[in-house]
Amino acid sequence: MPRNTGCNVFDHAVSRRGFLGAASAAATVGGLLTPVQAEAVQSGHKRVLQLYLQGGVSQFESWDPKPGTKYGGPFRAISTSVPGIQICELLPHTAQRMHRFSIVRSINLKTNDHGQGRLFMEKGRRAGEFPYIGAVAAKYLSPQRPTLPGYLHITTRGLNDNTNAFLEAPYAQMKLEGVQAPANLAHPDKVADDAARRREEIRSRLSERFAGRSGQKSFVESFESSFEMADRLMSQKSLFESEPSAKDVERYGSHPFGLRCILARKLLENGATCVKVTHHGYDTHAENFNFHLEQLGEYDKTACMLLDDLHDSGMLDSTLVMIYSEFGRTPKINQRYGRDHWGSSVSVAAGGCGIKPGVVVGATNPDGTAVADREVDAGHLFHTWFQALGIDSTADHAIPGKTIPIGDPTKAPIEEILA
Amino acid sequence: MALDVMKTHVLHEWKHGKPLIACRFEPQGRFLFSSSEDYTLQRWNAETGEKIAWEAHDSWVRDFAFMPDGETVISAGCDDRIIFWPTTAEKLEPKLEIVAHKGWVRSVDVNSDGSLIATGGNDRAVKLWSPDGKLVREFVGHERDVYSVRFHPGGQFLLSGDLDGKVHQWEVNSGKLVRTFEAKDLHSYNGGQQVHYGGIRDIRLSPDKKLLAMTGLHKATNPLGAVNEPLNYLFDWESGSESKKQPAEGVGGIGWRIEFLSDGSEIVASGGNGGGFLLFFKPAEEKPYHKLKLPNTARDMSVHPDGLRVATAHHDGQIRISKMTEKAA
């Protein structure tokens, strides 16, 4: 299953001395590492951070600006830290860090439907029951003894999809309602920790016995995974209870997205494999430009603070960062200054683990109405993410008795952005 | 012919062909200036509709203002700049450019004697400029984007409105914040979509200076989908108290521009999901007493100095001139 990328420091054993050297170097950039950051770097655990711009961020107002063209809109393009790459002026902080990212500008999803676009981007398949990126990552990248559920989604909206499909229940997405701690993490007042532990052991033994006698092993496993997930969260409840530092709030912002990104960093540092943070408000059928000013103004600095922290701690090398939506927005500006749904010429950005930075793949035509070069879709992206993470996406899932390729066999990774 | 709002009718349609954004008559009434999504500005002969178009800013232009004699027009761009143009020249070359804000300059106004120019923008700043381009004063206090600026006709005060639905009254000479008018319903935060929406889209003083009027939108149940309706707020200038809220029920859209007519009534251009309208209100009444449905959504409006003609800029690339009188025989 593992893919030999030949590029990732964690493909090789990390010696303690080597780690300390790397940590020391990182410390000179971003200050001393905390113990959890040091452990996160040392563990070799690969992770995924999904920054999901829900509703469909406009490619014109983000990664593929076309100022002065028929549908370009009012925003200008700005230069970035990578000579020759320009992005929209709404992303000035990102522009300064473009040397850590790459962009794919030639995605044709062939759908303008929120649900279809989201499922395609998450599953890498247009149809069928397949697991989401986060579930696949949780299955193949989670440590032997995970300290948190593998796939966490911080949001306040969204549908309850079957995110793990045929994968085991522990790899399903666990949704967190913003930064609120999940309900009932603490033991009831009258139950001491020791008593709760003994109670859990009894429950577990009874489950084992029931599984053996009833012939409903998978049902019991699913049931057990819920308890395990709850147990992990209960042991980590301090992550939700501790207030973010004033410095973090100042850097990330006090708005919901800022607080969610602070929590995302804590979850990644403390053993989560995939953390998805949804930023809402991009389905801009009206006032597209005002809302992109507002939303990307909030997104840009916050996301960059999170990426800076991952970089400074050394975690970015082992964390794949995806910035994406379910589709883009129409070239044509409607009568309400809006842009509508558009899946025909979409962009995404990515960086971190296994991604070659500073690359732009593909191009749209001058007016941005169609892909002009190197057309790809979400199937190609799906392969790319897992190849970047060192997972052979052309292999079959490790499911006994089933032969199901991890990625769509008719698609291939986008090699140009693989490190 | 005399003003007769109930007989308002579309008199002319002048085609630019690309979606239009803003329009404004110059003070002598000879020309109408407009802007388009294609980054050009247009000058229209107010009588014949003859057009000159030229490339001006590196972005859209959302507002215009004029020096009192009408000989200089100032365009406010989404490219940080305001540019001064000779109103009547055959070939329009910039007379002066000022990098006024970081980001969009949303609004510009000139005081009554032409000695000061006010601008407001997305950097949340309100600034005063001299006619030769020097920064005179900056007013700091808005917590969100500034959508509109307007001098009080007396010249002593400047008014600036923002996305939060607040209008600050500033003392021009000292920069002191005098008071704040809160048009709370002109702003909303949608927790589901997690967006702020609304804003003071325009500010105007009544001719007798007794009423402060502003327009925008409310009932934003789905901001991203443009489900909202126009709303005006009227405040008593002397007391600062709210005088009237004027919703246009059943008209989907935003109130983009508000002006007063010679009979004391207000005219508002609205546009959005419900199409384009000219809405007419009496200050003492809540509901519009007349509505004229326009053939396409309206994005801006300007009343001609004759008080009888009104221009609207439309998404379909047309300038429409409506006349508020009985139709000529």
Instruction: Quick: pLDDT tens for B29-61.
Output: 999 999 999 999 999 999 999 999 999 999 999
- The answer to whether residue A414 scores a pLDDT higher than 50 is yes
Q: What's the whole-number mean pLDDT along residues A6-15? A: 32
CA B153/CA B111 separation, integer angstroms: 7
- Does some domain include residue B75? yes
Evaluate whether B47 touches B34 at the Cβ level (below 8 Å).
Answer: no
Q: Nearest-CA distance from A336 to chain B in Å?
A: 5
What are the tens digits of pLDDT across the range B58-88? 999 999 999 999 999 999 999 999 999 999 9
Q: What's the whole-number mean pLDDT along residues A105-114? A: 97
Sheet holding B318-323, edge to edge: B9-15, B318-323, B309-314, B298-303
Q: Which residues of B lie closer than 8 Å to A, measured between beta carbons?
A: 19, 37-39, 58-60, 78-79, 103-104, 122, 145, 192-197, 223-226, 271-273, 296-297, 315-316
**A-B contacts at Cβ under 8 angstroms:** 74
Strands (DSSP E) found in A262-362:
274-279, 319-324, 328-329, 341-342, 346-352, 360-361
Q: Nearest-CA distance from A128 to chain B in Å?
A: 29
- Does some domain include residue B106? yes
Q: Does A157 touch chain B (CB under 8 A)?
A: yes
What residues of chain B lie within 8 A of the CB of A330, using their CB? none
- Does some domain include residue B282? no
- Does some domain include residue B303? no
- Confidence label for A242 from pLDDT (cuts 50, 70 and 90): confident
Assign residue B143 the CATH number of its domain.
2.130.10.10
Mean pLDDT of chain A: 87
The pLDDT of residue B240 is 97
- The answer to whether residue A286 scores a pLDDT higher than 50 is yes
What residues of chain A lie within 8 A of the CB of B39, using their CB? 68
The closest alpha carbon to B119, from B83, B94, B148, B161, belongs to B148
The pLDDT of residue A22 is 39
Q: What's the whole-number mean pLDDT along residues B221-235? A: 95
What residues of chain B lie within 8 A of the CB of A333, using their CB? 19, 37
Backbone angles phi, psi at B224, to 5 degrees: -70, -20
- The answer to whether residue A363 scores a pLDDT higher than 50 is yes
B195/A286 touch (CB, cutoff 8 Å), yes or no? no
- The answer to whether residue A216 scores a pLDDT higher than 60 is yes
The pLDDT of residue A236 is 78
Q: What's the whole-number mean pLDDT along residues A280-290? A: 96
Q: Does A74 touch chain B (CB under 8 A)?
A: yes
The pLDDT of residue A187 is 64
Q: Nearest-CA distance from B329 to chain A in Å?
A: 34
Nearest CA in chain A to B58: A68
- Does some domain include residue B218? no
The two tokens of residue A177 are 């309602």
- Confidence label for B6 from pLDDT (cuts 50, 70 and 90): very high
The closest alpha carbon to B266, from B186, B320, B180, B205, belongs to B205
- The answer to whether residue A13 scores a pLDDT higher than 90 is no
Residue B310 corresponds to which amino acid? V
B226/A338 touch (CB, cutoff 8 Å), yes or no? yes
- Confidence label for A8 from pLDDT (cuts 50, 70 and 90): very low
Q: Nearest-CA distance from B195 to chain A in Å?
A: 6
Q: Nearest-CA distance from A386 to chain B in Å?
A: 31
Q: What's the whole-number mean pLDDT along residues A38-47? A: 80
- Confidence label for A256 from pLDDT (cuts 50, 70 and 90): very high
CA A66/CA A370 separation, integer angstroms: 13
- Does some domain include residue B295? no
For B60, the domain range is 56-200
Nearest CA in chain B to A293: B122
Judged by average pLDDT, the poorest of A193-202, B114-123, B124-133, B279-288 is A193-202
A67/B193 touch (CB, cutoff 8 Å), yes or no? no
Q: What's the whole-number mean pLDDT along residues A146-151? A: 91
The pLDDT of residue A259 is 96
A293/B296 touch (CB, cutoff 8 Å), yes or no? no
What residues of chain B lie within 8 A of the CB of A279, using their CB? 194
What residues of chain A lie within 8 A of the CB of B223, using their CB? 286-287, 291
- Confidence label for B15 from pLDDT (cuts 50, 70 and 90): very high
The closest alpha carbon to A47, from A140, A145, A176, belongs to A140
The closest alpha carbon to B214, from B249, B274, B167, belongs to B167
- Does some domain include residue B145? yes
The two tokens of residue B119 are 């601008």
- The answer to whether residue B260 scores a pLDDT higher than 60 is yes
The pLDDT of residue A7 is 34
Pick from A290, A293, A340 the residue to mutate for testing the B interface (most B CBs within 10 Å): A290
What are the tens digits of pLDDT across the range B194-207? 899 999 999 999 99
- Confidence label for A206 from pLDDT (cuts 50, 70 and 90): confident
- The answer to whether residue A20 scores a pLDDT higher than 50 is no
Q: What percent of chain A lies above the pLDDT cut of 90?
A: 68
Specify the higher pLDDT residue, A193 or B216.
B216
Of B103, B192, B223, nearest to A157 by CB-CB distance is: B192
Of A74, A156, A280, nearest to B78 by CB-CB distance is: A74
Nearest CA in chain A to B59: A74
- Confidence label for A26 from pLDDT (cuts 50, 70 and 90): very low
- The answer to whether residue B318 scores a pLDDT higher than 80 is yes
CA B215/CA B255 separation, integer angstroms: 5
Of A67, A157, A284, nearest to B224 by CB-CB distance is: A284
Q: What percent of chain A lies above the pLDDT cut of 70?
A: 85
- Confidence label for A214 from pLDDT (cuts 50, 70 and 90): low
- The answer to whether residue A69 scores a pLDDT higher than 70 is yes
Contacts of A152 (CB under 8 A, 6+ apart): A173, A174, A176, A267, A272, A274, A275, A276
B197/A283 touch (CB, cutoff 8 Å), yes or no? no
- Does some domain include residue B9? no
| Residue A52, CA distances (Å) to A29, A258, A262 in order | 28, 14, 15
Up-side HSE of residue B197: CA atoms within 13 Å toward CB?
A: 30
The pLDDT of residue A27 is 43
Q: What's the whole-number mean pLDDT along residues A230-252? A: 85
Q: Nearest-CA distance from A1 to chain B in Å?
A: 40
The pLDDT of residue A89 is 98
Evaluate whether A239 touches A270 at the Cβ level (below 8 Å).
Answer: yes
Interface of A with B in 330-349 (CB under 8 A): 333-336, 338
Q: What percent of chain B lies above the pLDDT cut of 90?
A: 96
The pLDDT of residue A9 is 32
A76/B58 touch (CB, cutoff 8 Å), yes or no? yes
What residues of chain A lie within 8 A of the CB of B38, using their CB? 70
- β-pair partners for B166: B182
Q: How many domains does chain B have?
A: 1
Nearest CA in chain B to A291: B195
